[in-house]
Amino acid sequence: MKISCLGPRGTFSDEAAHRYYKGSQVDYHMCGTLIEVIEAVADNQADQGFVPIENSIEGSINITLDGIIKHKLMIQAEVIFPVSMHLLVNEGVQVKDVKEIWSIPPALAQCREFVRELKVPTKDFPSTSMAAEAIKKTTRCDVAAVGSEWAGSLFGLDIAVRNIEDFQDNQTRFFVVTKESDSMDFTQKSLLLINPEKEQAGVLSSILNVLSALGINLTWIESRPTKRKLGSYQFFMEVELGGQHPALSKTMTILSTLGHDVRLLGSYNSIKL
């Protein structure tokens, strides 16, 4: 099985994917951007794509959402991965020696308080892994990278300070995406994409009222522009219903009858690593 994943080696996506697919025969197709991960599945270069969709600190990842819509992919599974940020340095480097911190912007954003207290500038890199590798190659003693223990081990770096993220219960949620969904029997969640018939006052409220009337628990909601015109939005709604539940079909029927365009993006189970 070929899996597309955000690279290079040593990223959080790389670590989460290796842990999720542990024990399976997998050929990893490492991509430079999230769009490339999604396009690899759409173009049949990969059987599945492993993409981050949400972080508990930074929120939803819009590039992934837009890519799923554009390429009409289905969600096969949800993977919850605990994220711990560490300050990675070359051997023997102390925190007091660090004059600049390197990493990808979202990782730096998740460690704002630590960086602010250190009072040093930051430098952006395309990934935490590339920042860690650059630290190793420079052999410098005045720079550090924000990254994972996985990346530190991969590139032979020391951990100067552990768990520097602002919130300790930091998690990233990943979706496993495919072109076609497997059987939806006995799943825990489903994700609907709802495109309202027209923009009018109370349209979101009316959609939520349908879910409420059927006693359906909404676990996640996100709006994205339809890209038709300014102020036009579509809604991702994750419900606590599996594909086998009759209430899911009833919900989609009612919303379609009201004139909304409703698309099921997948029914899936949640796996915690």
- The span from the CA of 199 to the CA of 253, in Å, is 20
Residues 8 and 70 reside in one and the same domain: yes
Position 227 in a domain = yes
Q: Give the pLDDT score at 183.
A: 63
* Domain co-membership, 203 together with 255: yes
Residues 257, 207 share a domain: yes
Is 66 within a domain?
yes
* 90 & 79 share domain: no
Measured distance CA(37)–CA(84) in Å, rounded: 23
CA distance 273 to 80: 6
Shared domain for 79 and 7, answered yes or no, is: yes
Packing angle between helix 34-42 and helix 62-71, nearest 10 degrees?
20
Same domain, 12 and 56: yes
Residues 112 and 78 in one domain: no
User: How confident is the model at residue 229, as a pLDDT?
Assistant: 80
Q: Find the largest Cα–Cα distance for the chain.
A: 66
The answer to whether residues 43 and 11 belong to one domain is yes
- φ, ψ of residue 126 to 5 degrees: the values are -65, -25
CA 136 → CA 101, 104, 153, 247, distances in Å?
A: 13, 16, 11, 54
Residue at which a domain ends, from 137, 153, 178: 178
Domain edge (last residue) among 144, 178, 212: 178
| Total domain count, the chain | 3
Question: pTM for the complete prediction?
Answer: 0.85
Note whether 12 and 61 are within 8 A (CB). Answer: no
Say if 183 falls within a structural domain. no
- Report residue 11 CA to chain centroid gap: 12
- For residues 65 and 104, membership in a common domain is answered with no
The reply to whether 63 and 174 lie within a common domain is yes
Q: Domain check: are 234 and 119 in the same one?
A: no
Measured in whole angstroms, how far is the alpha carbon of residue 108 from the centre of its chain?
Answer: 16
User: What is the structure's pLDDT at 231?
Assistant: 76
Boundaries of domain holding 155: 86-161
Q: What is the CATH number of the domain that holds 143?
A: 3.40.190.10
CB 129 within 8 A of CB 10: yes
Specify whether 174 is located in the same domain as 69: yes
pLDDT in tens, the chain (273 residues): 999 998 888 888 999 999 999 989 999 999 988 999 999 999 999 999 999 999 887 889 999 999 999 999 999 999 999 989 999 999 999 999 999 999 998 899 889 999 999 999 999 998 899 999 999 999 999 999 999 999 999 999 999 999 999 988 889 999 999 998 766 668 899 999 999 877 776 788 889 999 999 999 999 999 998 887 887 789 999 999 988 889 999 999 999 998 899 999 999 999 999
Q: Is residue 273 part of a domain?
A: no
**Where is the domain boundary, 178, 212, 229?**
178
Q: Which spans in 91-222 are helix H?
A: 105-109, 112-118, 128-138, 149-155, 203-213
The reported pLDDT for the residue numbered 222 is 93
In a domain, 258, yes or no: yes
- CATH number for the domain spanning 258: value is 3.30.70.260
